[in-house]
Structure 1
Amino acid sequence: MNRSCLTGLLCSLPTICVAADVVIRLPQAPSVRMDIVTYACQGLPQIRVEYITAGSNALAVVPVSGEALVFAGVLSGSGARYAAGPYFWWTKGTSADLYDQRQGDSAKPIGCQEVGRV
């Protein structure tokens, strides 16, 4: 799949009437923090990403191909990197990139820039 196919992956979630709540019990987590960040991504509508931190656990809920995927924090040399299936969401400062590992190592990611925080 080439770069033009990759751009269709990251998209805003449509408005839906049904939502699912997920509860994760972390008895040793001292506190839970949630940050909501809006990004403008290359040639796409703005997206909203939820970052959840509970103790040493870090999650990011990122809309990919019309579905909210839960990304788990993984080892990163710099910035914060999250993984979900074949995808990596990598943030550094106010920018973020979505990688699809099925595209191969030479594929360019979808680049995003933070435009707001809730």
Structure 2
Amino acid sequence: MKKPIAIMLALLGAQAALAMPLTVPQIQTASTQTTRYDCKDGKSVSVQYTNTRNHQSFAALTVDGRKLLFVNVIAGSGAKYVADQYTWWTKGPQANLYDEMAAKDSPPLLADCEARKK
């Protein structure tokens, strides 16, 4: 009888953890910046960029109602961030959001996005 209770408590704890902010004490934030992009289809997206003291970069944005944390990876040009099946790729003030599971000739989910000037 103790096992089902322990499993339920673990599940409840996991749900509570989802609502908590993500903190990783070993990785310290150096800077954070939020940029708003306007895309050619009239949609807009707000992206929070975080740079860490150990030179990692992250981008947090909402895709299909899910808040995702994108991690910077090697790119030939610009800054490329990946999370789940998605790629957020920026070059200067321009950005596109791709679904890597979509057909090869599919357009980006968000295309020709332009950072708003401050």
Match of 2:101, SS state, is helix
Q: More relative contact order in 1 or in 2 (CA 8 Å, sep 6+)?
A: 1
Residue 22 of structure 1 aligns with which residue? 22
1:43 is displaced (CA, Å) by 2.1
Q: Counting helix residues as a fraction of each chain, which structure ranks higher? A: 2
Instruction: Determine which structure has more spread, i.e. the larger CA radius of gyration.
Output: 2
How far residue 116 of structure 1 moved from its aligned partner, in angstroms, is 3.9
TM-score by length of 2: 0.73
Identity fraction in percent: 30
> 1: CA distance between counterparts of 2:64 and 2:92?
24
| Gap change, CA 1:115 and 1:52, over 3 Å in 2 | same
Number of equivalences: 97
Q: How does 1:76-87 map to 2 (within 5 A)?
A: 76-87=75-86
TM-score if structure 1 supplies the norm length?
0.73
Match in the other structure for 2:3: none
TM-fit CA distance, 1:95? 0.5
Partner of 2:101: 102
Question: Whole-Å Cα distance in 1 between the matches of residues 117 and 36 of structure 2?
Answer: 5
Runs of 5+ unmatched residues, structure 2? 1-18
Question: 1:41 and 2:39 equivalent?
Answer: yes
Unaligned runs of 5+ in 1: 1-18
